[in-house]
Amino acid sequence: AAKAAGKSAYRTCTPGLRESAVSRAELIAELRRAVDEDQLLMEFQPIVDLATGTVRSAEALVRWRHPRLGVLPPARFLPLAEETGLILAIDRWVIHQACRAAATWRAYAPEVTVAVNIAAAHVRRPDLIATVTGATAAAGLAPRALTLELTESALIEGSEAVLERLHQLRELGVRIAIDDFGTGYSSLSYLHRIPATELKIDRSFVSRLDAGDPRAYATVEMVNRLARAFDLAVVAEGVETGTQHAAVAAIGCVHGQGWRYGRPAGLSELLTTLTPIDAPADRPGGHGSKVL
Ligand code: C2E
Ligand code: MG
Ligand code: MG
Ligand code: MG
């Protein structure tokens, strides 16, 4: 991925600075058009119950089908989108698409929720509430079926206004996840203030479980215990191998996400993995832990 990124046309450190500057401006113009011209696309990655393998939720992940460069991952265009403010339009589009998709699959599997990533810039805007209520209403989706994923860096700048906004969203029933938990610069004290409903343990910790790294194990265990104490659901991110799966399950994490359970894919592919259920059965292995 680093190699691919190094080849990207808009990297300012690539040789031929003038050329790349032009490409960058070009890419910005193209990105602006992309939103209007339907070049963005959504993929969904399942979040499963580790004990049963049942899909409980799906994370919406945006891609850009670039007319010349092919399908670009978020790392190739979101930084640019954030710099230019286009991220707001992209996130709005994503929220609407994700709510519509979730309404579709919930007709079949009514308990499966959807998670959407929200940029830091978006969290700081008062109209986030209107965007969320507009999108859920338009899709006919219950707000409690929607999780907003926020990173620690988005939250650490958390002014009183941001906190108030998050509380308002919670009152509407919207769920709030802290994404990539453990990688930000935040202090633990903000856990007391943010009205989060779940923690997502960053992939960097999970991937080190393979090597039997005792520190990685202790980190995942500590975050899981912390989450329980705060009455938060836990998702182990980036589970790729059987060893990692066994480790996070042994530690007691309730949910997992990663290639081991399913790669991000189109809506129709996600639909094939859903189990039609009317009511969540009492699940084994939950030990009273919070579910998604
Ligand atoms: P994230 O929210 O932490 O999303 C998880 C990322 O990990 C996704 O990368 C996913 O494809 C990848 N992943 C999942 N399981 C595995 C695994 O087992 N192994 C490995 N190596 N990777 C795995 P993706 O789709 O490239 O997205 C990267 C980041 O871009 C996301 O990280 C999120 O921060 C951001 N992003 C994606 N879509 C959106 C969006 O619609 N809006 C905003 N604001 N940000 C988004
Ligand atoms: Mg996320
Ligand atoms: Mg994440
Ligand atoms: Mg991540």
**pLDDT tens by residue, 175-229:** 999 999 988 776 777 888 899 999 999 999 999 998 878 999 999 999 999 999 9
Instruction: State the ligand closest to the CA atom of 63.
Output: 1
| Ion ligand 4: residues, Cβ under 5 Å | 180
Ligand of minimum distance to the alpha carbon of 72:
1
Q: Which pLDDT score is estimated for 122? A: 92
- Cα of 240 vs centre of ligand 3, distance in Å, is 14
How large is the average pLDDT for residues 11-30? 65
Q: What is the pLDDT of residue 186?
A: 66
Å from CA of 27 to ligand 2 middle: 24
178: CA distance to ligand 2 center in Å? 9
* pLDDT surpassing 70 at residue 264: yes
Top mutation candidate among 61, 72, 83, 201 for ligand 1, by most atoms within 8 Å of CB: 61
The mean predicted confidence, pLDDT, of the chain is: 88
Q: Is 285 or 26 the better-scoring residue by pLDDT?
A: 26
ipTM of the complex: 0.98
pLDDT per residue over 51-61, tens digit each? Answer: 999 999 999 99
Q: pTM to 2 decimals?
A: 0.90
pLDDT by residue (tens digit) across 134-146? 999 999 999 999 9
| pLDDT tens-place string over residues 63-85 | 999 999 999 999 999 999 999 99
The closest-lying atom of ligand 1 relative to the alpha carbon of residue 119 is 44
Give distance in angstroms: CA of 204 to centre of ligand 4.
Answer: 8
Ligand 1 atom closest to 151 (CA): 34
- Confidence at residue 50, expressed as pLDDT on a 0 to 100 scale: 97
Q: What is the mean pLDDT of residues 115-128?
A: 94
- Mean pLDDT along residues 37-50: 97
Q: What is the pLDDT of residue 15?
A: 47
Per-residue pLDDT of 99-108, as tens digits, reads 999 999 999 9
Poorest-pLDDT segment among 109-118, 121-130, 153-162, 174-183: 153-162
Find the 57 Cα to ligand 3 centroid distance in Å: 14
For residue 201, give the ligand nearest its CA: 3
Average pLDDT over residues 242-248: 96
Residues with CB under 6 A from ligand 1: 45, 61-62, 73-75, 78, 91, 94, 117-119, 149, 179-180, 238-240, 257-259, 264
Percent of the chain past pLDDT 70, that is, above it, reads: 87
How confident is the model at residue 277, as a pLDDT? 62
Q: What is the pLDDT of residue 286?
A: 42
Sequential DSSP letters for the chain: -HHHHHH-TT-TTSS-HHHHHHHHHHHHHHHHHHHHTT-EEEEEEEEEETTT--EEEEEEEEEEEETTTEEEPHHHHHHHHHHHTHHHHHHHHHHHHHHHHHHHHHTTSTT-EEEEE--HHHHT-TTHHHHHHHHHHHHT--GGGEEEEEEHHHHHT--HHHHHHHHHHHHHT-EEEEEEETSSS--GGGGGTS--SEEEE-HHHHHGGGGT-HHHHHHHHHHHHHHHHTT-EEEE----SHHHHHHHHHHT--EEESTTT---B-HHHHHHHPPP-SSPPPPTT-TT----
Res 254 pLDDT > 50: yes
Q: Separation of 131 CA from ligand 2 center, angstroms?
A: 19
Q: What is the atom index within ligand 1 of the atom nearest the CA of 240?
A: 18
Report CA(203)–ligand 4 centroid distance (Å). Answer: 6
Q: Which of 41, 59, 90, 117 to mutate to test the pocket of ligand 1 (most atoms within 8 A of CB)?
A: 117
